[in-house]
Structure 1
Amino acid sequence: MDFQTPFDSAYKTLSAPWFIGGPQPAVVDLEREGWITGSVLDAGCGMGEHTIHLARLGYEVLGVDFSSPAVEAARGNAARQGVAARFEVADVLDLADRDRFDTVVDSALFHVFGPAERDAYTRSLHAVCRAGAYVHVLALSDVEPGLGPQISDSAIRDAFRDGWVLEDLRPSSYRVIVGPEDGDRLNLTAGQPADMTAWLARARKS
């Protein structure tokens, strides 16, 4: 029997709050503000919304995810939209043998890791980033009740110590579609989009 993670099941059934049908507004704003440049890695690409968005704008971008069903879904998503986007199954904790990138976009991946995994992740990103490359992390915040795993700002600071300069870390938001159980718990309307508190970090490879 094939091993299935909860993420595999979510991508097979398309039943997760992060399926909002497009890129996160915070990531769209990063691009508009000029913070995404050169070759781009979309780490933990999921359905590929950010890879597709950036590819449509002309960026050289690769979306990677550990979940095979996620990559399958992302490729189908890109095909339906007529966008030539690249996706690969990959372990983001071990990217050392891959191409080098100028920008990394991480939308809601960082916060699923524990401390040891976060350290392995930032080392892996360091190996595939060119000198001066930027990593942008959008992660669910533990400041108030929310959905799924949440982290503190100190967890981000700790992970981007060695080999990085953490240039910015500020409150932001992460958009979700609220499920019935979470709607009741958070006093939100089920089936509707809602913005959860998040951190937006910018780290530069030193």
Structure 2
Amino acid sequence: MTQTAEFWNSVYDNDTAPWVIGEPQSAILELERAGRIRGRVLDPGSGAGEHTILLTRLGYDVRGIDLSPSAVEYARRNAAAQGVPTARFDVADALDLAHSAALTEEDGTPPEFDTIVDSALFHVFGDAPEARADYVRSLHAVTKPGGHLHILALSDREPGFGPRISDTIIRESFTDGWELEDLQPTTYRGRVTAAIAAQSDLYKGQEGLVDLAAWLAHIRRL
């Protein structure tokens, strides 16, 4: 099941988010270096804001959105602390991006993006097929034809914390209106918090950063 904004608020308010690591994901850095991030960019589920901050610093026109007001406030503080106060963050529902008041153009037209960078949002819907389908439709509605979606998601190739998905879920989710150009294993850096260490034998007595198995998908909007 998916979680409410109140749940995500509590994670940021109590600093228990295992994805808040104080730096961008290396897989996203490599995307940018390879020239795969172009034009107007959306960072859905932007969380602590590291990728929106990074891309804003590099000169991209990028918007970060999150369902959680606490996450958005966290990201804005983070951006200011990193000397990138122009990084833009708004509260918005990723399941209905086309009708988001925060993203709608000044003339009332729906938003359109050339590139969408999803770092650890898609896998949240792994066990919620209806929400996952809504999210895919939402992404399709705001991605320009020919635009690209990049998904970094935790993989079920190994056990561990966080929602983990198979490559099959990615492949089956992006069919009509999409072309899956590439899907490869990679890693995602997370943080073993005290709560995770206490709850999981895998991380007993361990705290700090850890690299986890992940998928990186490159998907083109038809």
2:48 is paired with a residue whose SS is coil
Cross-structure match for 1:120: 134
Cross-structure match for 1:100: 112
Q: 1:192: how far off?
A: 2.2
Alignment CA distance shift 1:196-1:94 (3 Å): same
Alpha-carbon distance in 1 for matches of 2:150, 2:6: 26
Q: What runs of 5+ residues in structure 1 fail to find an aligned partner?
A: none
1:169 is aligned to 2:159? no
Q: 1:171: how far off?
A: 0.5
2:164 is paired with a residue whose SS is coil
Q: What runs of 5+ residues in structure 2 fail to find an aligned partner?
A: 105-110
Cross-structure match for 2:213: 197
TM-score, L = length of structure 2: 0.87
The alignment's C-alpha RMSD in Å is 1.5
For the 8 Å contact 1:140–1:150, the answer to whether it is kept is yes
Mapping 1:1-206, distance limit 5 Å: 5-83=6-84, 84-97=86-99, 98=104, 99-113=111-125, 114-180=128-194, 182-183=196-197, 185-187=201-203, 190-206=206-222
Q: 1:181: how far off?
A: 5.4
Q: 1:82: how far off?
A: 1.6
Deviation string, structure 1 residues 124-158 (Cα, Å, up to 9, x no partner) = 11111111110001111111102111111111111
Counterpart residue identity of residue 106, structure 1: D
Alpha-carbon distance in 2 for matches of 1:178, 1:136: 25
For the 8 Å contact 2:45–2:94, the answer to whether it is kept is yes
Q: 1:173: how far off?
A: 0.8
Deviation string, structure 1 residues 164-192 (Cα, Å, up to 9, x no partner) = 00001110111011124544622576232
Alpha-carbon distance in 1 for matches of 2:66, 2:203: 32
Structure 1 vs Structure 2: percent identity of aligned residues? 55
Alpha-carbon distance in 2 for matches of 1:107, 1:156: 14
For the 8 Å contact 2:112–2:143, the answer to whether it is kept is yes
TM-score, L = length of structure 1: 0.94
Task: Give structure 1 regions of 4+ aligned residues with deviation exceeding 6 angstroms.
Answer: none
For the 8 Å contact 2:5–2:67, the answer to whether it is kept is no
For the 8 Å contact 1:41–1:63, the answer to whether it is kept is yes
For the 8 Å contact 2:192–2:203, the answer to whether it is kept is no
Q: 1:107: how far off?
A: 0.6
**Count of paired positions:** 204
Q: Which moved more, 1:106-115 or 1:188-197?
A: 188-197
For the 8 Å contact 2:16–2:195, the answer to whether it is kept is no
Counterpart residue identity of residue 163, structure 1: G
Counterpart residue identity of residue 124, structure 2: V
